[in-house]
Chains A and B, each alone.
Chain A
Amino acid sequence: MNKLLYILVIIFFLSCGSDNEDYAAIEDEDLSQTENPLLDFSVPSNFPDSTYDISQNPPTEKGFELGKKLFFDGKLASDGVVSCGFCHIQDFAFTHHTHITSHGVNGLIGKRNAQPLHNLAFMNEFTWDGAATFLDSQPIIPITAEVEMNETISNVLSKLEADPNYPTLFAEAYGSEGITSERLFKSLSQFMVMMVSANSKYDKWERGEAVTFSEDEENGRILFQSKCASCHSGTLQTDQSYRNNGLPLDPTFNDIGREIVTGLASDRRKFKVPSLRNIEITFPYMHDGRIASLEDVLDFYTDGIVNSETLDPLFVQPDGSLGLVISNEEKTQLIAFLKTLTDTDFLNDSRFSEF
């Protein structure tokens, strides 16, 4: 009698299990025994709240590692070479130095400069023109753009399925078999949201840790508040708006900026106000990388601004002249301050390193 009951119990549990896909249920069980701890994503005390909904995609050890492998894998591109990490190099806060605008497959050249990747969990929109409203869907753009990775998402999935390692890595990260586009994008996001750069001298100063600004740095900080912070506002030095900062139109690219996203003539030649985190090492500057040094950037803001219908009114002085008024001495001080935004811990953080 007891034996019969035992058998019945076993049958019941088996029949429950078979509600799921037959063998997947067994594998789920095996995978649940694989350790995949949650990673600690915490918002630095001097930062705003994160915009990324961590509860929808909490980074795990295996999900993060998978995202990292995908980030550095040329399989995401049609030529098998141009990975995300090809243009986004950690030493330069995930930008590219020798290329003014980004290079893609087949030697093609894009019209914009690769943006740094850091503190993405705190951004409202992505890319220079805000064409991606969520981090999870942003990679669609570089993967499918002809001048970048020129690949289709379907092909990426097929290549990953055919790979000897990825099926296992996806299963370990998500607890069941299957390589889907949702998992692909979630993994990339898990890798990217963990890229928090919050250990610069400026951060330590903001948090009241034991650092002291030099006289130039402190003067630069005060100048920054009056000359720059109306756009480069807050801890991340961006109000996340789109503005025309008076760059002359480059006829090679004829880039209309945010108008491509909204269709509004009032958005013509406007680009996202970038965060200035790690600005010292993210040259060249501007959406098309046309300016090589911070000195040249400040010279542009005092002497290089050209007028156009959408020029931001902040660059027009009361007497009608264009540009900001900053003395050479002040420029030196501003640059000293900007260099306090460099976070060498982040640049050397082995969690994000390809090798």
Chain B
Amino acid sequence: MKKIFLIALLTIAALSCKEDETQIQNPGTLNLTFENAVGTELLSLGNSYTNSSGEGYSIQELKYIISNITLTRKDGSLVVYPPGQSYFVINEADANSLTIQLNDIEAGAYTSMTFGFGVDPTKYPIESGTLNFIPTAEEAGMLWTWSAGYKFIKFEGVYTIPPLTGSDPFRIHVGSHGANLDNYREITVPLGDDIANTDFTIGEGVNASQTIYFDVAQVFDGPNTISLENASDIQVDPVNAPLIATNIATAFSVPQG
């Protein structure tokens, strides 16, 4: 009798163990590498570029917040990366920050990825896991000191308006404005190759990799045109900040073919 009881207990124990393990069954790793670019060339801090308004600019600092990563499986189901671990500062000046390592992603075929640009202000901070992101954001200078809010992008440098040769600083900080204006954007990029019809696969115990381009030129020249002559110090700017957020929402892409 005792023996049967023990066997039953053992079975229960074994089953409950197995249940625990299903959460990280066949885990693989996905490395996302963000490559900041100006048009078709990779960005170099300090290089000179020209926007469509004919203004010359060079970039001294480029940082932005990526959050809330969700992967879409080939069958359409979603894999939500744990929210508490899903906040990252991408800093052009820090090569280590350009690659995000997503651990314990279930192996399989995936078709697309959605991520947040900035911090979703509609989510309750505890639920969204942002409270533990505060020290990281603070160290990167991505908190507004007078507010409990985040700078989603910190984009600074100098610009010149030809034929003048002198340069003036520009400063673009876009975030949400309290509960008044939400500049958070969700962005979806494809994974894999639609043209060749190949799947993007994350294999068990394997590090899969995906490059994501961010074309920073589109901050000025996306669906909206932003001229530095008109606005070179964009911080809590209720007119230009949402225009830039919209430009950024279409500035991310993945390599084709």
Contacts and interface: CB of A to CB of B under 8 A. Distances in A.
Nearest to B241: A263
A186 B124 CA distance: 12
A223 interface: no
Given A133-B121, A181-B131, A12 B10 contact: yes
B6 interface: yes
Interface stretch (B40-48, B138-146, B160-168, B220-228): B138-146
B132 A181 contact: yes
Nearest to B149: A131
A8 B2 CA distance: 14
A261 B125 contact: no
B3 A133 contact: no
Contacts of B7: 5
Interface string A1-15: 110011011001101
Interface in B146-185: 146-149, 177-181
Contacts of A132: 147-148
B94 interface: no
Interface of B: 2-3, 6-7, 9-10, 13-14, 16-17, 20-21, 84, 121, 124-127, 129-132, 134-135, 138-139, 143, 145-149, 177-181, 235-238, 241
A9 to B, nearest CB: 6
A16 B143 CA distance: 41
A186 B126 contact: yes
Given A16-B20, A181-B134, A185-B131, A131 B13 contact: no
B3 A145 contact: no
A152 interface: yes
Contacts of B20: 16, 19
A56 B147 contact: no
Contact of A137 (B131, B235, B238): B131
B19 to A, nearest CB: 10
A144 interface: yes
Nearest to B6: A5
B10 A5 contact: yes
Contact of A133 (B139, B178, B236): B178
B124 A134 contact: yes
Contacts of A260: 146-147, 236
Interface of A: 1-2, 5-6, 8-9, 12-13, 15-16, 19, 53, 56-57, 124-126, 130-134, 136-138, 140-141, 144-146, 152-154, 157, 180-182, 185-186, 260-264
A262 B9 contact: no
A125 B149 CA distance: 13
Contacts, number: 126
Given A16-B13, A131-B178, A261-B236, A1 B147 contact: no
Contact of B138 (A12, A153, A261): A153
Contacts of A133: 121, 148-149, 178-179
A13 B145 CA distance: 49
7 contacts: A5-B3, A56-B127, A124-B179, A137-B131, A152-B138, A181-B134, A262-B178
User: 9 closest A-B pairs (Cβ-Cβ)?
Assistant: A182-B131, A263-B236, A132-B148, A12-B13, A137-B148, A131-B147, A5-B6, A261-B178, A263-B238
Contacts of A12: 10, 13-14, 17
Contacts of B237: 263
Q: Is the contact region of chain A dominated by helix, strand, or loop, or is it mixed?
A: helix
B1 to A, nearest CB: 11
Nearest to B135: A154
Nearest to A15: B17
Nearest to B133: A181
A144 B6 contact: no
B17 A182 contact: no
B147 A9 contact: no
Of listed A8, A145, A146, residue having the most chain B CB within 10 A:
A8
A296 B248 CA distance: 51
Nearest to A144: B145
Contacts of B130: 137
A2 B135 contact: no
B148 A140 contact: yes
Nearest to A134: B125
B125 A136 contact: yes
Contacts of A140: 134, 143, 148
A353 to B, nearest CB: 27
B211 to A, nearest CB: 31
Contacts of A16: 13, 16-17, 20
Contacts of B134: 137, 140, 153, 181, 185
A53 B123 CA distance: 12
B34 to A, nearest CB: 24
A57 B149 CA distance: 21
Given A181-B134, A262-B177, A9 B146 contact: no
A5 B13 CA distance: 12
Given A2-B3, A186-B131, A154 B145 contact: no
Given A16-B20, A134-B125, A261 B147 contact: yes
A241 to B, nearest CB: 12
Contacts of B127: 53, 56
A137 B125 contact: yes
Contacts of B138: 144, 152-154
Nearest to A12: B13
Given A141-B146, A141-B148, A153-B138, A2 B126 contact: no
Given A2-B2, A12-B10, A133-B121, A144 B143 contact: yes
